[in-house]
């Protein structure tokens, strides 16, 4: 069974300019994900999809393969990431004259994942015979307990429990999760044929909060930087 890993990294970013190649503790952000993919030893190919020649160059230096620029229609902030992943897989199969059974996507903005997360997510995916896998972490806010909608002058909980006016604590409310955009896995047939990301054959791999930060703002960046420095200090 052949697996391919895609890492999508466009140049545009409204939240944090050029974040994919911004130096995080002296290393380009995207390099963390490339190195994790390499160290997992799960992939026949690791492909970076980008619309930036500079990102392509840095990705190659880090050990990934990248030989094409993503089309503009797949590079805007409104473009579907799924379409970008499909495009990268098509490009790879054509270049390497092969067909892949499984497609992984690792988000470049989630550097706190560990290699063991990639391996354990793949193990769960195979054991569960799922069509695809997403990763998530327990949510900090719960729509059954402390998330509200505000319309006009009316406030109401986002979700309600039949027969219960209001859960007395977060602990007794139904558990909910935040998708952390860290690891995605598909059977290739599911990636190309399923319209929705989540369907009846989707499985979830749970990750802890401290490995689930998806960098979107400068606050996220500072927090990740702090956690990385703390981990290095504790390991030394």
Query: So what's the pLDDT on residue 163?
Result: 63
Q: Among 3.40.50.2020, 3.40.190.10, 3.90.550.10, 3.90.105.10, name the CATH number for the domain at 3-139+177-235.
A: 3.90.550.10
For residue 33, what are its two tokens? Answer: 């994900």
**3-class secondary-structure state, position 17:** coil
- Phi–psi pair at 125, nearest 5 degrees: -60, -45
pLDDT in tens, 35-54: 999 999 999 999 999 999 99
Query: So what's the pLDDT on residue 17?
Result: 83
Q: Is the pLDDT of residue 230 over 90?
A: no
Q: Under a CB-based contact definition with an 8 Å cutoff, are residues 51 and 34 in contact?
A: no
Query: So what's the pLDDT on residue 128?
Result: 97
Query: So what's the pLDDT on residue 191?
Result: 97
| pLDDT, averaged across the chain | 93
For residue 41, what are its two tokens? Answer: 């030893």
Using CA atoms, how far residue 13 sits from 20, 76, 189, 218, in Å, is 9, 9, 30, 12
pLDDT in tens, 45-97: 999 999 999 999 999 999 999 999 999 999 988 889 999 999 999 999 999 99
Which DSSP state fits 175? P
How many Cβ atoms sit within 10 Å of the Cβ of residue 170?
14
List, by residue range, all CATH 3.90.550.10 domains of the chain: 3-139+177-235
Strands (E), 96-142: 102-106, 132-138
């Amino acid at each position: 069974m052949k697996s391919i890993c895609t890492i999508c990294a466009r140049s545009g970013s409204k939240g944090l300019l050029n974040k994919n190649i911004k130096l995080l503790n002296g290393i380009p952000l995207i390099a963390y994900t490339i190195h994790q993919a390499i160290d997992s030893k799960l992939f026949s190919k690791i492909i970076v999809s980008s619309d930036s020649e500079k990102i392509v160059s840095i990705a190659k230096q880090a050990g990934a393969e990248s030989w094409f620029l993503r089309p503009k229609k797949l590079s805007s902030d409104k473009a579907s990431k799924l379409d970008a992943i499909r495009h990268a897989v098509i490009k790879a199969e054509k270049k390497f004259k092969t067909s892949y059974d499984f497609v992984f996507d690792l988000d470049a903005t989630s550097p706190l994942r560990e290699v063991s997360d990639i391996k354990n997510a793949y193990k769960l995916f195979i054991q569960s015979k799922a069509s695809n896998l997403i990763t998530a972490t327990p949510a900090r806010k719960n729509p059954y307990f402390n998330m509200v909608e505000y319309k006009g002058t009316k406030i109401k909980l986002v979700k309600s429990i039949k027969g219960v006016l209001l859960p007395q604590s977060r602990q007794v409310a139904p558990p909910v999760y935040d998708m952390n955009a860290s690891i995605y896995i598909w059977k290739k047939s599911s990636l190309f044929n399923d319209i929705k990301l989540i369907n009846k054959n989707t499985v979830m791999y749970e990750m802890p909060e401290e490995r689930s930060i998806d960098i979107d703002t400068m606050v996220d960046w500072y927090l990740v930087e702090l956690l990385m420095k703390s981990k290095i200090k504790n390991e030394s």
